[in-house]
Amino acid sequence: MVNSLKIDLTTTVHLLQTTVQQYPHKEAIYDGFRRITYKELDQESTAIALELRKLNIAKGDHVAVSLPNWHEFVVLIFAIAKIGAVVVPFNTKFQENEIAYIIENAKVKAAFFTDEVDDNNHLKIFKDIFNRSKYLEYLISVRTDDEETLSYDRMLKNGMNYQMEESPEIDIEDTAIIMYTSGTTGYPKGAMLTHKNITFNAFSKVSILECTKDDVFLIQVPIFHIFGMVPGVMTAVACGAKMVLTQQFKAEKALQIVEKEKVTVHHGVPTMFILELNHPNLEKYDLSSLRTGIVAAAPIPSEIIGKIREKMHCEVLPSYGMTEAAPSLTFCTFDDDDETRAETVGRPIFGVELKLIQPETEEEVGVEEVGEIVAKSPGIMKGYYGMPEQTKQVLSDDGWYKTGDLGTFDSKGNLRIVGRKKEVIIRGGYNIYPREIEEYFYQLDEVIEVAVVGLPDTVLGEISCAAITLKENSSLTEDSLKDYIRGKVVYYKVPDIIVIVEEFPMTPSGKINKILLQEELKEKLAEQLR
């Protein structure tokens, strides 16, 4: 097990209040727009909480937040928690149909958003959805003026004139966040994460990374993603560190921020570190303040770990987890060599139990034998919101969660990820579930069959490829198919390559043999792959 730590299972509200009492005037957030202290974070989140109460937003209600990495996002996380309501973070790149589905599925009562972000006109999208939604009652715009919506700034100004006299009773087992993950069955599922899930993970990372109030976190992974939310925001708050938020990852911008703000903790997916290392101006910047950070979502070669240490003065620690675990289950430590960090994802965090089972028999497997990774942890979700059957498929009555990933344990107890039972593609740190994309293509009458698979890429780790068979005399082309899917899903879910094929390799049972298809596509597309 990684580290022994004092597990302080508390609420996110108490987490903030404790830090405010200790470091009220310490800088909490800088987002390139404004700098705010922990006291200001507390005051502003209380002001918004009071205004939400006036709108009859109460304990258990669901409130959507669709914002970039702005300080307002962090304020809203705690404002919503203070009234016992539930945050539903939205990927700002989501298209209208994705937003509408989650609003209805989660029964979202109020939504915070800005006018335009990531080339999406959210003002128009949310208004359109509002006019037909069964649940959405309030639209609140941030950093934009619109007469037809409520204003975050006005709410903040009004709320600052009052004090919260009575707070609702919040239990650590209450849901704090419903975070939607792309679904293997074509529809996103809302993982219900409790206050306990989140604070357990936050304190774990404080201990493993040896974080203190003197640390400065660079948070460039989106806060709407579990990686940005918990290892980023919540971990920083747990130790009273400063957060530097960036709206969009750009390699040189990240290097500039590290130098200017004296960043000490730098999280990221391997792609981010690789792009920073390969930037021609890397040597220009003073990165000596860097100390550590988490690298996750994809394997990282040992030579890259060595280069990060040599050129960026940073000891990165690989971790394994997922949204449903809030997120971490395992970690490498500072004592692990580069080979261990590259070939494994370390050992279970203190408080986490892992076992490997045969998927068919559920019997445990031995050392170096492949099995499905099953986890039990204070970080494991309650379940999927409104989806009892899907929850039952992965979460047992006694709290064991089936990850769908395949792994082995070595003789030292390190976990090695060897494959995925689920067919998720990890493109530059973003998860893509093939079934979701396939179902959109199946809506076209001229499509017979489609299979989306991952192909290797030296920068992104994996890219997606959609192989499609069409009806005879179809007018569809690879370009027109890409244009079609581009308007349906977030940009990173759009297949990087679309190929029209005559037929698929099949399994004896008549299913598409995706393993063989991958090999055929690798050979066919060799010149297009990096």
Among 14-23, 94-103, 450-459, 481-490, name the most confident range.
Answer: 14-23
Half-sphere exposure of 191 (CA within 13 A, CB side): 24
H-assigned helices in 262-323: 270-277, 302-312
Mean pLDDT of all residues in 131-143: 97
In terms of Cα–Cα distance, which of 106, 318, 130, 92 is closest to 225?
Answer: 92
Task: Indicate the pLDDT class of residue 337, thresholds 50, 70 and 90.
Answer: very high
Q: At what angle do helices 478-486 and 434-442 cross, to 10 degrees?
A: 110
Sign of CA dihedral 27, 31, 34, 38: negative
What is the side-by-side strand order in the sheet with 175-181? 150-151, 138-141, 108-113, 62-66, 86-89, 175-181, 189-194, 383-384
Alpha carbon distances (Å) from 430 to 229, 297, 322, 399, 418:
15, 8, 12, 27, 19
Average pLDDT, the chain: 92
Residue 180 tokens read as 């939607």
**Residues 232 and 223 sit within 8 Å (Cβ to Cβ):** yes
Mean pLDDT of all residues in 4-33: 89
pLDDT score at 40 = 98
Say yes or no to pLDDT of 1 above 50.
Answer: no
Complete domains list, the chain, with CATH: 12-320 (3.40.50.12780), 425-524 (3.30.300.30)
Task: Indicate the pLDDT class of residue 166, thresholds 50, 70 and 90.
Answer: confident
Query: Quick count: other Cβ atoms within 10 Å of Cβ 207?
Result: 20
Residues near 462 by Cβ (< 8 Å), separated by ≥ 6?
A: 298, 425, 426, 427, 454, 455, 456
pLDDT score at 4 = 45
Instruction: Count the helices and strands in the chain (H runs, E runs).
Output: 17, 28
Mean pLDDT of all residues in 143-157: 96
Question: How confident is the model over 114-128, as pLDDT tens digits?
Answer: 998 878 899 999 999
**Residues 216 and 222 sit within 8 Å (Cβ to Cβ):** no
pLDDT score at 417 = 87
CA–CA distance, 87 with 64 (Å, rounded to integer): 6
Which of 338-347, 400-409, 415-424, 481-490 shows the lowest mean pLDDT across its residues?
A: 415-424
pLDDT score at 8 = 64
Dihedral (C-alpha) 307, 230, 184, 437: value to the nearest 10 degrees?
-70
pLDDT score at 16 = 98
* This model's pTM is above 0.75: yes
Alpha carbon distances (Å) from 232 to 8, 198, 280:
18, 11, 28
Mean pLDDT of all residues in 299-304: 82
Among 287-301, 335-349, 499-513, name the most confident range.
Answer: 335-349
Mean pLDDT of all residues in 478-482: 95
Q: At what angle do helices 71-82 and 38-54 cross, to 10 degrees?
A: 60
Looking at residue 239, the DSSP 8-state letter turns out to be: H
Task: Indicate the pLDDT class of residue 507, thresholds 50, 70 and 90.
Answer: low
Say yes or no to pLDDT of 3 above 50.
Answer: no
Mean pLDDT of all residues in 336-341: 95
Question: How confident is the model over 207-261, as pLDDT tens digits?
Answer: 999 999 999 999 999 999 999 999 999 999 999 999 999 998 999 999 999 999 9
